[in-house]
Structure 1
Amino acid sequence: MRKPEDVEGREFDLLIVGGGINGAGIARDAAGRGLSVLLVEKDDLASHTSSASTKLIHGGLRYLEHGEFRLVREALIERERLLAIAPHIIEPMNFLLPRVAGMRPGWMIRLGLFLYDHLGRRGRLARSRAVSLKGPPYGNGLRAGVASRGFLYSDCRVDDSRLVILNALDAHEHRATVTTRTRLVSASRDGAGWAALLDRDGRKMRVRARTLVNAAGPWTAELLTHIEGTRFISTIRLVKGSHIVVPRLYEGKHCFLLQNPDGRVVFAIPYEDRFTLVGTTEELWSEPLGPARISAAETDYLLATIRRYFTAAPEADAVVWSYAGIRALYDDHAADASAITRDYVLEVDGDAERAPILSIFGGKITTYRRLAEEALGKLAAWLPMGAPWTGGSPLPGGDLEGGSRDRLLTALIAACPGLPEEVLRRYVRTYGTRTLDMLGTARAPDAMGEHFGQGLHAVEVDYLVDREWARTAEDILFRRTRLGLHMPEEGKARLDAYLARRWKEAG
């Protein structure tokens, strides 16, 4: 993958534009049904919205307040499926919702949790229950008097960017062509298909496709301006969501769902052992599209939420990292950004005489796999294909025996006695059963090449470049792994230099 495939002049069944979770999910499903697929992404895979989530696979408890029962049920069903096919990067978590006077009444919370427990099928996840917050473990870190009781329920945490990478990798292993740093310049109908012009690092390439999928997320509307003769009814609303990471606020592996006086909720989630992830904000976005940054007002809002609930009272200078993403939500004309639906709408423009283009409006990471199935169902009239298959097939590395990370870790400790357990634990959470494939013949640090810090060696970097489309240090430290928060600047600089040498040698 260091040298991307030459696609000049090739013809595909499906050209997918957008390498976020929806584009990667559709590519995986389509390739596994026997279709020839080209997935193009103008930057890195998962480099925008799909790596800027709250990193949850969840039904969306708060969506029940807006009557989104179908969406919540679908998400809860998908939560169980995704946990089964990707147990290395998805794990069950307990979420604690303190009962706070003057906010949502207890009967409303109980009713919501009852529905949450029963709307979707339940496998490994426990039902909700009331708990005391007067002492450990659930009262850890909470301010005295903030709440004496709360409700515990279950959802899942996910490494969001790796979910995208693994879908793209599985698509590739089913013979899809995946190319990053590749932009769609233009597309027009040509006979029974599409003629498209692509730009990869300044090189122009022409391809043909029978169908076109617009999975560009925030760029969905903009992309349509580069495609001739399209007609769509639906539109999107752009909402910025921001998060901060601060030193750990409390002891324990449970998460918090925190109510605010304005009716919004904020998650506090254990992150990378030493930190707590706090978010998200929701602000309507009307500026030109580009890299999103958290604002001072958003930081203050999240810090105020922390101070409202926890004894820790961090100031802005205690924030060790922040990130923001622009979410493209289906425009249901809701006035409040928090009330805009997280459901998706799929529209097809095409008929017997005109090649189809499918555009995706809205969606959330939890329902990406189901969205992909529905998208291909809408294209079935133009593309004869096999049956849906992704719901029961593990993602790369997810075929854990009994779904147990611990069992795999024990096997890796025996196979790699020279590697520290904490490094092997990270490998399990990142590569699952593909760990030994990533290591090759290396079983000890002195056989793994240059060490950049935090257990990252050249053998892993080479694997990510050769097999997972990584190109830059940011690709590796923030999207292929979660080492960016831990890596010292000196290690980042040496990683940059190593990658530069590799690209120079590759020509």
Structure 2
Amino acid sequence: MAEASPEIYDLAIIGGGINGCGIARDAAGRGARVFLCEQGDFAGATSSASTKLIHGGLRYLEYYEFRLVREALIEREVLLRAAPHIIWPLRFVLPHHKGLRPAWLIRLGLFFYDHLGGRKILPGTASLDLRRSPVGEPLKEEYMRGFEYSDCWVDDARLVVLNALDALRHGAELCPRTVCNSAERHEGAWNVEVMDRQTGDKRSLRARSLVNAAGPWVSEVLSQRLHVNSSERTRLVKGSHIVVPRLFEHDRAYIFQNSDGRIVFAIPYEQDFTLIGTTDEDFDEDPGEVRISSSETEYLVAAVSEYLQRPITTDDVVHSYSGVRPLYDDGAGQAQQATRDYVLSLDDGEGTRPPLLNVFGGKITTYRKLAEHALQKLSSHLQGLSGDWTASATLPGGDFAVGESARLTHTLRQEYPFLTDSWARRLTRSYGTRTRVMLGDARELADMGQHFGADLYEREVVFLMQEEWARCAEDILWRRSKLGLRFNVEDAGALENWMESRLAERESQPKQAKG
């Protein structure tokens, strides 16, 4: 019997971060047959290590990145409408530091920030007397004047998973924990070999177009997996964050100017904590092994303590995380000056070869526009597809109006009386209207199954394993949720053991024959 030909796809994508999953969703929704492989878990690297903001990038105005800022400002409200469960408005307080940027310059920047993006939902900028406002109470007395403006908060890792889910709903095939071993052009298409990292099983497929959205590994994929020489390079920039117990009672975030020209955010985080970040350092090591350094921790502690009446110390840090931003190398002198804009590099031999699209840079706020632009770049090779569609589409669970999250939480508590208010709020902010799918026919706490810690129960764990590709405790505690902040080592280990046992049990069951 002749060997079966490899499957043919319109588009194969390497990388399951926000850009890869965003492109997969957009392409699948247009009717393309899409394959995506990700070497780890979705959002396993940079896309879960952001400052978790949907924002225009106020400081980018200083580097004249007007196109990027305008696009990002427009996207704030597009994404807010698409996913009001995992994205919500947040007001930022910028205290005026007399020794740094002058007040007139800040006012000018905020004027542009208010008007560049056609803002309709979010409130505009306001001036503050910090001596009389509650948001001035945590600050030193010398900070008497400030400004308040709007951006949005996002659960970054869940944003990636929701894009993956929507891509799946539109017919895409997504394979986490699957590495691309090689890809080469052959007879008008890409021959791609991938390997399941858990089983070692290999698979060959063919694709009419290939997208390299490997994030910090984009250059490595080019040279070592695709064997393509390129003059374009990424500039790897490390950004680190720390988490401390809640520093203030109000619901605003702070944006603090630092003497080195950078800014540091202090953001309400997971109800009981404050998130502080970020740093900017060039990085030339393995992106998979990135960790915060003691000097970065001290930098963030000092930057925030400069403003607070009650300074913090490194002993206050309860958690930290780091990520590597794969910025396009534009030759900027300092890491903080390197462009945050994205560059889409198309290699198609002027239409005579199957195309390769390399994704350099980008930021989470503009991922949807990046995906649209990627499909535009590939349009001549992906004929017969429908047009742009994502601007007015909701993500899974986001089919309710902006500002209705509290109402949904209240309704859930009525339908499932065993939920506490904080538990129902977390579920709403994780799953939106999909919460009912997860809770199913549960009518009392016992129906939720085994309790693992905090408000995590067996029913939710099973849901995440079956519906959202979770395979280990880290997937659930730090990407599908942030419950790791509330778990001790023993509880996390017990969850890991339970999941391993469940997976082993599933693998031992005989597979049913198709047809």
Return the letter of the residue paired with 1:232. Answer: S
Aligned to 1:107: 104
Asked whether the 8 Å contact 1:215–1:359 carries over to 2, the reply is yes
Aligned to 1:4: none
Asked whether the 8 Å contact 1:187–1:226 carries over to 2, the reply is no
Report the CA distance shift for 1:228/1:265 in structure 2 as closer, same or farther (over 3 A): closer
Alignment partner of 2:177 out of 178, 181, 185:
181
Asked whether the 8 Å contact 1:306–1:312 carries over to 2, the reply is no
Aligned to 1:3: none
Deviation at 1:401, TM superposition (A): 4.0
Aligned to 1:355: 354
Deviation at 1:234, TM superposition (A): 2.5
Aligned to 2:149: 153
SS at match of 2:81: helix
Return the letter of the residue paired with 2:223. Answer: T
Aligned to 1:226: 224
Asked whether the 8 Å contact 2:180–2:225 carries over to 1, the reply is no
Asked whether the 8 Å contact 1:21–1:50 carries over to 2, the reply is yes
Aligned to 2:25: 28
**Poorly superposed stretches of 4+, deviation over 4 Å:** none
Aligned to 1:247: 245
Alignment partner of 1:126 out of 118, 123, 128:
123
State the distance in 2 between where 1:101 and 1:35 align: 55
Deviation at 1:144, TM superposition (A): 2.2
Asked whether the 8 Å contact 1:245–1:320 carries over to 2, the reply is yes
Aligned to 1:447: 447
Aligned to 1:476: 476
SS at match of 1:225: helix
Identity percentage of aligned residues: 53
| CA deviation string 1:125-149 (max 9, x = no partner) | 111011011144111211222x101
| CA deviation string 1:87-133 (max 9, x = no partner) | 00001011000001110001100000000000001121111011011
Asked whether the 8 Å contact 1:40–1:183 carries over to 2, the reply is yes
Question: TM-score if structure 1 supplies the norm length?
Answer: 0.97
Aligned to 2:497: 497
Asked whether the 8 Å contact 1:232–1:349 carries over to 2, the reply is no
Greater mean deviation of Cα atoms: 241-250 or 489-498: 489-498
Asked whether the 8 Å contact 2:81–2:401 carries over to 1, the reply is no
SS at match of 1:461: helix
Aligned to 1:40: 37
State the distance in 2 between where 1:167 and 1:261 align: 38
State the distance in 2 between where 1:228 and 1:126 align: 47
State the distance in 2 between where 1:454 and 1:34 align: 42
Alignment partner of 1:191 out of 184, 187, 194:
187
State the distance in 1 between where 2:100 and 2:397 align: 43
State the distance in 1 between where 2:309 and 2:22 align: 42
State the distance in 1 between where 2:487 and 2:399 align: 30
State the distance in 1 between where 2:310 and 2:273 align: 13
State the distance in 2 between where 1:127 and 1:232 align: 44
The unaligned stretches of length 5 or more in structure 2 are: 508-515
Q: How does 1:452-463 map to 2 (within 5 A)?
A: 452-463=452-463
SS at match of 2:62: helix
Asked whether the 8 Å contact 2:81–2:402 carries over to 1, the reply is no
State the distance in 1 between where 2:411 and 2:287 align: 47
Aligned to 2:368: 369
Aligned to 1:83: 80
Aligned to 1:379: 378
Asked whether the 8 Å contact 2:264–2:304 carries over to 1, the reply is no
State the distance in 1 between where 2:37 and 2:316 align: 38
| CA deviation string 1:220-255 (max 9, x = no partner) | 000002344635342211100000001111221100
SS at match of 2:486: coil
| CA deviation string 1:408-436 (max 9, x = no partner) | 11221121112222111111000000001
State the distance in 2 between where 1:488 and 1:435 align: 26
Aligned to 1:283: 281
Asked whether the 8 Å contact 1:243–1:280 carries over to 2, the reply is yes
Give aligned pairs, total: 500
Greater mean deviation of Cα atoms: 124-133 or 409-418: 409-418
Aligned to 2:396: 396
Aligned to 2:213: 215
Return the letter of the residue paired with 1:374. Answer: H
Alignment partner of 2:269 out of 268, 271, 291:
271
Asked whether the 8 Å contact 1:231–1:349 carries over to 2, the reply is no
Supply the RMSD in Å over aligned alpha carbons: 1.3
| CA deviation string 1:302-360 (max 9, x = no partner) | 01012101122222122000000000001111101111110011011114321101001
| CA deviation string 1:262-288 (max 9, x = no partner) | 111100001111111000000011223
Return the letter of the residue paired with 2:220. Answer: E
Deviation at 1:203, TM superposition (A): 1.3
Asked whether the 8 Å contact 1:126–1:153 carries over to 2, the reply is yes
Aligned to 2:510: none
Return the letter of the residue paired with 1:45. Answer: F
| CA deviation string 1:180-201 (max 9, x = no partner) | 1100011000111100111112
State the distance in 2 between where 1:239 and 1:292 align: 11
SS at match of 1:138: helix
Deviation at 1:403, TM superposition (A): 4.6
Asked whether the 8 Å contact 1:399–1:433 carries over to 2, the reply is yes
Deviation at 1:494, TM superposition (A): 1.8
State the distance in 1 between where 2:130 and 2:5 align: 62
Greater mean deviation of Cα atoms: 153-162 or 395-404: 395-404
Report the CA distance shift for 1:156/1:228 in structure 2 as closer, same or farther (over 3 A): closer
Aligned to 2:431: 431
The unaligned stretches of length 5 or more in structure 1 are: 1-6
SS at match of 1:476: helix
State the distance in 1 between where 2:59 and 2:67 align: 13
| CA deviation string 1:427-464 (max 9, x = no partner) | 10000000011112113211011011111111100010
Deviation at 1:14, TM superposition (A): 0.7
Return the letter of the residue paired with 1:132. Answer: D
